Amino acid sequence: MNLRILIPSGISSLRIVLAPLLAYTFINDLKVWAISLFLLAVLTDILDGYLARKLNASSNFGAYLDTFADFILILTTFSAFVNKGLYPFWILILIAFMFLQFILTSGLKMPIYDPLGKYYGSLLFAGVGITLLFPVNTICNILLVIIVVFSIISLINRLLFIIRRKTIYFKN
C-alpha cells in the first residue's frame, strides 16, 4: 500500500475527530473555541484535497472519506444548532437524506463528480460558519430557506444528470 495515500486520508479523518469537539464547544457557549475548531476543520478540508493532488495520492477511498468526514462534521454541528433551538430537527433529516442520495447515486467504485453537489457541501459549511458567528434566529431562518431551496435544486440536478447518463448508456 502506498503510504502517501494515508496523509490526505489522515487529514480528512481529523474532521471526524473535530466534529464532537466543535459541537461541545458551541453547546457550552465557548464561541471562540467553536469558531477556531471550525476554521481548523475548513483548513483540513482544503489541505486534504490539495495534498492528495500534490502527492498523486488520490483514491476512491479518500474521496469517500472526505465526503463522509464533511457529512459527520456538518451533521454533528447542525445537531448542536438544533439542540440550541436555532434550527428545526428536520434539517438533520434533510442533511442525512442529501448525503444518502449522494452515496446511493454515486455507486461504490468512484463518486460521481457533481459540481452542484460540491457547491451544496460548501453551502452547508458556510451555513455552519455563519451560524457560529451569528447564532440568531433571523439569520438561521434565512439560511434554512437557502438550504432547503438549494437542496431541491441539487436533487433535481442530480436526477437529471442520472437520467441523461442512463439515456446515453442505453443508446450505445
Domains of the chain: 3-171 (1.20.120.1760)
**8: pLDDT confidence band, cut at 50, 70 and 90?**
confident
CA distance 24 to 42: 18
* Closest-CA residue to 26 (of 156, 49, 18): 18
pLDDT at position 157: 85
- pTM across the whole model: 0.89
Do 133 and 36 touch, CB atoms closer than 8 A? no
**113: pLDDT confidence band, cut at 50, 70 and 90?**
low
Instruction: Say yes or no to pLDDT of 51 above 90.
Output: no
Q: Which residue has the cell 461504490?
A: 108
